[in-house]
Amino acid sequence: MSADADAAAVATMRAISQGSFGGPEVLREVRCQVPEPGPNELLVRVHAAGLNPTDWKHRAREAFLGEPPFVLGWDVSGVVETVGTGVTLFGPGDEVFGMLPYPYGAGAHAEYVTAPARAFASKPSRIDHVQAAALPLAALTAWQALVDTARVGPGHRVLIHAAAGGVGHLAVQIAKARGAYVIGTASGDNDGFLRRLGCDEVIDYRKVDFAEAVSGVDIVLDAVGGDYRARSLRTLRRGGVLVSLQPYGKRELSAEADRFGVRGEVMIVESDHAGMNAIADLVRADRLRATIAGTYPLADAAEAHLRGETGRTAGKLVLLVR
């Protein structure tokens, strides 16, 4: 096939788009133009794309992205197709994985995507694209919360809420890799799963009030929100820190934390080249691995959303794009 014919063959691509807010039924497979990489950008041929709760939250109602139509997805693993002017880190044919700039860089649920080169890291050869696509957003969230914000280190006692979830089960592994003692809250069904990941204690939130059972911790990672914030502050030692992943109420949290002599932080994940390289290093050292709760063809994105919204998946869901 000629070069011109090749170009014509990839001029359009499949993507999952939505024209309105609503349930999973608003998701549609469409054909759209393959994007062109700008300066300092990569065009990546997507092999697999991860799903996260932020996907169904954005699908259901306006959040950061404004009005539809748009293509969701921030987690991607694939192969560099072409590079824009100024890119020196990667070249065509390189396997990469990363998180598109959150929140406005969505678009991973498609056959091709463009993003800044430094949103990516080299995919470790020991894992496939499905495993790599499951990691970026959730692992970066855990890394930025525990390492960059809370400065977790050897001997720290860390309480992780929703420890069996996408962020939680990776946060358990990151905290253990940093030498921490880890306590996780989850349903009792996930006790064995979390202990295999490294949890030193597992609290069944359906049977035990964690605020009564836990005290003197250095760090709380809260992906639940609601009354978990205020209750978690009581579990911290003076000088400890709570990192909330719910993007609201920073002023109220700080004021309440001051009453307990602790620090309260509200965090939103950021695209992070150094963080992605740190995650890749943990993968290469066999210290970090995503649990894959299920995989779905790109065309079945609505079904994946429906399952994800149940909140009962341990680990990550991934779309198979190629």
* Side-chain half-sphere CA neighbours of 50 within 13 A: 31
Helix H or strand E encompassing 155: none
**What end-to-end distance do the CA atoms of the chain give, in Å?**
21
pLDDT in tens, the chain (322 residues): 455 555 445 589 999 999 999 999 999 999 999 999 999 999 999 999 999 999 999 999 877 898 999 999 999 999 999 999 999 999 999 999 999 999 999 999 999 999 999 999 999 999 999 999 999 999 999 999 999 999 999 999 999 999 999 999 999 999 999 999 999 999 989 999 999 999 999 999 999 999 999 999 999 999 998 999 999 999 999 999 999 999 888 999 999 999 999 999 999 999 999 999 999 999 999 999 999 999 999 999 999 999 999 888 889 999 999 8
Give dist(CA 121, CA 66) in Å, integer: 29
Query: CB neighbours (10 Å) of residue 224?
Result: 19
| Phi–psi pair at 30, nearest 5 degrees | -130, 170
- Which amino acid belongs to residue 83? V
Q: Which residues contact 305 (CB under 8 A, 6 or more apart)?
A: 24, 27, 51, 55, 56, 59
- Identify the structural domains of the chain with CATH numbers, from first to last: 3-135+290-320 (3.90.180.10), 138-266 (3.40.50.720)
* Side-chain half-sphere CA neighbours of 32 within 13 A: 18
Give dist(CA 280, CA 63) in Å, integer: 30
